[in-house]
Amino acid sequence: MGTPAPSTALLLAPVLLLFTLPSFAGDVLTHHNDVTRRGAVLDETELTPAKVQHEFGRLFSYSVDGQVYAQPLFVSALEFDDGAARDVLYVATMRNQVYAFDASKNAGREHPLLWTKDLGQPLPFDRIPKDAGAELGAYNIMPYIGVTSTPVIDRARNRMYAVAKVADPHYPCAPNDGSEATDDCPVYYRLFSFDLKTGDSKMQEITLPPPLDGESAVSPIPPADAARRELQRAALLESDGRIYVAFGSHQDAPPWQGWIFSFDAGTLQPIAQFCTTPGGTEGGIWQAGNGLAADSNGNVYAATGNGTFVPGQQFGNNLIRLTPGLKIASWFAPKNVNELNTYDIDLGSSGPVLLPDGKVMIASKEGRIYLLKGADPTQRPSTGQGSGFQPGVQIFQAARNWRPRFLALFAWIYPPIFNIGYHHIHGSPVYWRSDKSGPHIYVWPEEDNLRSYPYEATPGKFDTHPAKGMMGNKGMPGGFLSISANQGKDGVLWASIPCEDDAWVKIVRGCLYAFDAENVKARPLWSSIENDRSDYFDFAKDVPPTIANGRVYMATFSGRINVYGVRPAAPGAKPARVTADSRKRGHRKGANGHTMKH
């Protein structure tokens, strides 16, 4: 399935797209800021490195019902019917609650809630299909599954779109009379469209085909139970008037398949659908919550997890490019794709990022970063598995390898999994071009250092000798990043990460960090664990910080959204200067190397 080399227009497509999207300064309308998924806010003038270091802190919090897996979204200067223009923060929770807050009001002294909507009963976590880990209590998501993905906002239509998992309230999915819950209550996935000002909504049910069992063209489950088995984790995408919704699995509990559906943004009517493994199994699209990407021609990019792989036909562990009508246009599979499938090491553990020069980047569970030339990451079936790399492809290890060095002497004894980089990358790398030092990507793998890789325009590759920052947490899932900057200057890298423990199947304390994006080797400009004793919140897994109009909005699993910004100085007071010495006083080292207060 060969395709021509990308034209100049295709190479520039991700850049041109940024100038065609209807938005306002300060808006955050989709996951990681735009459909290229670069994760950068480039109109931020208030949060300079100096102010973040000396004047920054937590201002207040918004209370919500439920855990927040979806990145909060922000609309600036929205004109209401009373003539007022308000900045509005939108939040969706796992209890199927959607909120609109007046972001100009202080929740500690005023009533910021503009409207809220209940989307229906969420599904209790113990009603999802179980695999071996779940049966031992190792659930990744609990106690409810509702709105798991980040919604998307269309300012031109004045609408926000969200997908909710809804359990039929007439059946005992979650009885409140003390009786035993049943596994056979009906479950639905529903796409909602909300008016940004009033919350008035309309709904379209998403019909999921039942997954195959891998041994025949027959599903072992009834069609009515397909929605129970699938998880809608990847952030929604809007492109060319279509809403794209992707599905994967609940904890790899078979059977499942990967799906993408598209809907008309005006009517919500279904348009097209695509299965990653037609005639096969698995191949889910989850991307650790990162969204599908799109270029200016409306082509859609997705990364799949472990699943059936047949070159050009079944796309387990592939990077795929689809036409706007969800037809396969091109695909890429790593050379070790079969090994990745065998050991559940997903290529799709983050999500595609489209770079300004037209290249496509993706990071994986292997801890590798793949850089593919142009808008056409093609592998030609005639050349065989692992070939078909376009000129300019680069693959490098961006996380520490799991295997201790001495095991290399006994490589012939150990299975291939011991040869694979174990420290996963879950949060997509973020991209920023500095006026001072040029373009960089930033990534924080699990149990590893924060890393910054310079991108060299000639020859169009990354310098694989990164600047390394402070040590990460112990275990999964690593850091989830955003960038704020005033175009090419005053770059601040923001990171949400577990403070002290592994967050794979536990709820643990979270931390917000801010780094000078020009020098990640330096100590953080600010961190919640060092600079605010009272800022204790549960880590929101896979959610990057939202930066808008001089404030940082941080999702939590503690029933609130924390709001940070430049604190107003007391009359006549000088800003406190935070130094390395002052940070050391009153702190002790944790077992994993983190600095903690007594």
Q: Cα separation of 553 and 45, whole Å?
A: 16
Asked whether residue 7 is assigned to any structural domain, the reply reads no
Asked whether residue 581 is assigned to any structural domain, the reply reads yes
Q: Cα separation of 509 and 539, whole Å?
A: 5
Asked whether residue 462 is assigned to any structural domain, the reply reads yes
The count of C-alpha atoms lying within 13 angstroms of the C-alpha of 415, restricted to the half-sphere facing its C-beta, is 5
**And the tokens for 469?**
């920052």
Q: Cα separation of 291 and 150, whole Å?
A: 8
At residue 225, what are phi and psi to the nearest 5 degrees? -100, 5
Q: Cα separation of 283 and 211, whole Å?
A: 11
Asked whether residue 513 is assigned to any structural domain, the reply reads yes
> In terms of DSSP bridges, do strands 461-462 and 449-456 run parallel, antiparallel, or are they unpaired?
antiparallel
| Average pLDDT along the chain, 598 residues, taken 10 residues at a time | 32 36 73 98 97 96 97 97 94 98 82 95 84 69 94 98 89 51 76 98 96 74 86 97 96 91 98 95 96 95 95 93 94 89 89 93 93 60 37 80 55 51 83 97 93 90 92 80 98 94 89 97 95 92 96 97 88 48 36 30
* Residue 102, Cβ density class (10 Å: 0-12 exposed, 13-18 middle, ≥19 buried): buried
> Of 559, 557, 564, 556, which Cα lies nearest the Cα of 532?
564
Cβ neighbours of residue 574 under 8 Å, at least 6 residues apart?
none
Residues 78-101: b if buried by 16+ CB within 10 A, e if exposed: beeeeeeebbbbbbbbbbbbbbbb
Measured torsion, CA atoms of residues 320, 128, 66, 553, in degrees rounded to the nearest 10? -20
Asked whether residue 293 is assigned to any structural domain, the reply reads no
**And the tokens for 42?**
């480039």
Residue given tokens 């020009």 in the structure block: 518
- DSSP label at residue 584: H
Asked whether residue 593 is assigned to any structural domain, the reply reads yes
Q: Cα separation of 131 and 392, whole Å?
A: 41
Whether 388 contacts 379, CB under 8 Å: yes
Could you tell me the residue range of the domain that residue 588 belongs to? Answer: 44-64+428-541+543-598
Tell me which H or E stretch contains 337. Answer: helix 337-342
Whether 78 contacts 85, CB under 8 Å: yes
Asked whether residue 6 is assigned to any structural domain, the reply reads no
What pLDDT does residue 492 have? 98
Q: Cα separation of 293 and 82, whole Å?
A: 37
Q: Cα separation of 495 and 410, whole Å?
A: 38
**And the tokens for 289?**
């919550």
Distance of alpha carbon 105 from the chain centroid: 28
What pLDDT does residue 171 have? 60
Give the chain's domain count: 1
Count Cβ atoms below 10 Å from residue 177 Cβ, excluding itself.
5
Count Cβ atoms below 10 Å from residue 62 Cβ, excluding itself.
21
